[in-house]
Every structure is written in C-alpha cells, then in structure tokens.
Amino acid sequence: MSLAVSLSRLRMASILCFITAIGLWLAACLTIPNEFQVSERQGNSNSSSPEESGRPLGIYLPYIGQGDATLIRSPDGKSFLIDAGPPGAGRKFLLPLLKQLGLNRLDGLLITHYDLDHLGGVPELLAGEDGEVGTIDDIKLTCAWDRGGVPYDSSPGLIPYFESLQETQTPRQAVELGQELALDPALKIRIVAVNGEVWDSSGNTSRVDLSPETFKEKENAASIALLIEYGNFRYLTAGDLTGGGMLNGFLTPDVESLLGEAIGEVDVLHADHHGSLSSSNANFVAATSPQAVFVQAGIKNPYGHPASEVVERWKHVGAELYSTEGGAGYILTSDGKDFQIETIDL
C-alpha cells in the first residue's frame, strides 16, 4: 500500500470521527426542563438571602487524582457537579463521595471544557457502582451544561461523554456568556467567561481572539468560568483558563487578565489549570486577591502542579493554599458572610 493511500485513509478516518462526534453532539442536545433553564442576563430577581434560607453553602473539593471535580451543595439541598475528573475518578472517588452524602442524583453537571481530565469520569459516574446504565444504582442527572462548539484540541473523552448523556437520556445545553444557572434561589451562579469571552457586572463583554496558530492550549483558554455568590461570599472557578504563560515554548491566550479585571476580588478561588505556569498570572492574582485558593492536583503528578512560582504568587497576596496533591480533599462551608475549610479524606 502506498504512503499516499495510507494518508488518505487516515484523513478519512479523522473526518468520520469528527462527523460522529457532531452527530452525537446533536443527539445529546435535548431540551432542558424549564426549572433548570439558565435565567436572563440581568440575573435572578427571586434570589433569597442567606438569612432567609438559614442553611449553609457547601463546596466539596475531593481528591480525584490529576484532574478537576467540585461538588456544590446549595443551601436548598441541590447538588451541582463542576467537572468529573479523569477516567477512573468517577467510580473511585466521586461515587464514594456521593454515597457518603446520601446522594443518588445530581441536579446539574457543568463541564468547563473538553479535556479528558475534566470529563473523563462522567460515563462511569452516571453508570453507578455496577458500571451498567439502566440499573437501580445509576446516578440520575437532571441536566448537563458545557461550552458547546467543537474541541480546539484533541479530546478523546468527548464521544464517551456524549454517549453517556445520550444513553442516560440526560438533556444537554451549551451555556451563554452572562447567563445565570437557576439552581437555587439563594445562590447566584453566573457564567462570567466562556470560549475566550468575558462578562462584567455592568453587562459589558470583552474577548480574546483564540484563532492565532501561535497560541497553545486553546481548549483550556475556552474554559467556562463560574462566579458563585451566596450573600457576601464570592467563589470563582474557571477550569483550565489560561493567563498568557508559556508552556513548552508556546504562548497561551491571556483570558485571565480580562476576567480578573471584570470580576475583582473574591473570597475563595479554585486555581486555574491545577496551578500550572500557564495560569494564575500576576494581574489575575492581584485583581482577585482571595483569602484562600484551592488547587486540585494528583499525588506526585508528572506536571509539577502546582508550580512553585504560582504558589508564591498566591501567597504574596495573602492567600492560604489548599492543595489535593497530598492526597486529601477539602470541604468549604459558608453562611453567606464567613467561610471555613476542613479536610476530608474518603
């Protein structure tokens, strides 16, 4: 067989794979029930105060290996998962957490972007402990949100993610910049960045052009950023969002600087990209100035996350770091005024 024929077949296989992914994407885009639709850009006028709810907000950051997954327990008892870690994390780490909390369903799942270490755990999580969909131990999911579009980079976990949503008949929707996820009237969960665009409290938008070929990590730069507010408490999480840092000799898009300027100070922040050198730039760190920073990274991970330079930047603004690289996870609780962080070990 000639080299030309081999290359032709390789290209055809890639095209078929792409078409399959698009087909599954369309099939998974079902309508989300009205009670879980994103609200209008101006926000949720029916929000209740922490004093009215009388219950705390819980944010669980379990150890899941080298990846990201955060469970939000709203004051009203709703459960919302942000990312699901790498393959293996769903069964090994997330299912035990849900079992410990007495949960057999999730009211929402948001995938910040299409990297394997953020969506790889979805299929096994939804299939439950026996690994089979359609059995009594399945984790029921009301709806799934992601950034829409197609991957900028290779995404081996995308088709299994689509297939699991389709198999479990889970509705899926792409988020829009500035929208608020209507999960709990006591919370504001706002989409403040997605696909290189950034939203501020005045409703203004700004964007970074992700098209230049010189950029590295475009998929990371397209990450969804969420601002979660409960009373006066503010929490920011943004997947693997990039801040213009160099990685393997390539420049990453600086979306972080725009986001930091738009959002301003927060109380607690989930460090972008596991504390990588491509993120947590000086402008972003100074603008957000959190009291505490979470880092999700695996034990002795090969990437050196979190980078020592990044750790020093956060410490310089007075932030206390809580990293899972030691093997333990954390739970944050807030009454809308103050917050406390404790270690959890599943």
Domain ranges of the chain: 31-344
User: What is the per-residue pLDDT across 188-247, written as a single tens digit (0 to 9) for each?
Assistant: 999 999 999 999 999 999 999 999 888 889 999 999 999 999 999 999 999 999 999 876
- 14 vs 248, more confident: 248
Q: How many CB atoms lie within 10 A of CB 328?
A: 15
Residue bearing tokens 């009203």? 76
Query: When comparing pLDDT for 18 and 292, which is higher?
Result: 292
Here the tokens at position 205 are: 């938008």
CB 65 within 8 A of CB 89: yes
**Taking a C-beta distance cutoff of 8 angstroms, is the pair 177, 191 a contact?**
yes
Q: Could you write out the three-class secondary structure of the chain? A: CCHHHHHHHHHHHHHHHHHHHHHHHHHHCCCCCHHHCEECCCCCCCCCCHHHHCCCEEEEECCCCCCCCEEEECCCCCEEEECCCCCCHHHHHHHHHHHHCCCCEECEEECCCCCHHHHCCHHHHHHCCCCCCCCCCCCEECCEEECCCCCCCCCCCHHHHHHHHHHCCCCEEECCCCCEECCCCCCEEEEEEECCEEECCCCCEEECCCCCCCECCHHHHCCCEEEEEECCEEEEECCCCCECCEECCEECCECHHHHHHHHCCCCEEECHHHHCCCCCCHHHHHHHCCCEEEECCCCCCCCCCCCHHHHHHHHHCCCEEEEHHHCCEEEEEECCCCEEEEEECC
Select the more confidently predicted residue: 154 or 5.
154
pLDDT of residue 155: 93
Q: Does domain 31-344 match CATH 3.40.50.150?
A: no
Length of the chain, please? Answer: 346
Please tell me the predicted confidence (pLDDT) of residue 214: 85
Task: Quote the pLDDT of residue 91.
Answer: 96
Which position has the token pair 């992601």?
146
pLDDT band at 34 (very low <50, low <70, confident <90, very high): very low
- The answer to whether residue 46 scores a pLDDT higher than 70 is no
Lowest mean pLDDT among 12-16, 124-128, 276-280: 12-16
pLDDT at 250 over 80: no
Q: How confident is the model at residue 283 (pLDDT cuts 50, 70, 90)?
A: very high
Structure confidence at residue 51 (pLDDT): 59
d(C-alpha 62, C-alpha 327), whole Å: 9
| Nearest CA-CA partner of 113 in 212, 214, 23, 242 | 242
- Give yes or no for residue 261 having a pLDDT over 90: yes
Quick one: average pLDDT of 23-46? 42
The per-residue pLDDT for 28 is: 45
Q: Answer whether residue 18 shows pLDDT above 70.
A: no
Cβ atoms of residues 220 and 278 within 8 Å? yes
In this prediction, residue 6 carries a pLDDT of 38
> Which letter, b or e, does each residue of 272-283 get, where b requires 16 or more Cβ atoms within 10 Å of its Cβ?
bbbbbbbbbbeb
List, for residues 87-112, the tens digit of each pLDDT value. Answer: 999 999 999 999 999 999 999 999 99
Q: How many angstroms separate the first and last alpha carbons of the chain?
A: 54
Residue 240's region, left for phi above 0, alpha for psi from -120 to 50, else beta, is: alpha
What's the mean pLDDT when you consider all of the chain?
87
Read off the tokens for 150: 């197609």
Please say if the pLDDT value at position 36 is more than 60.
no
Q: Under a CB-based contact definition with an 8 Å cutoff, are residues 193 and 177 in contact?
A: yes
Query: What pLDDT is attached to residue 12?
Result: 42
pLDDT of residue 45: 39
Q: Cβ(315)–Cβ(321) under 8 Å?
A: yes
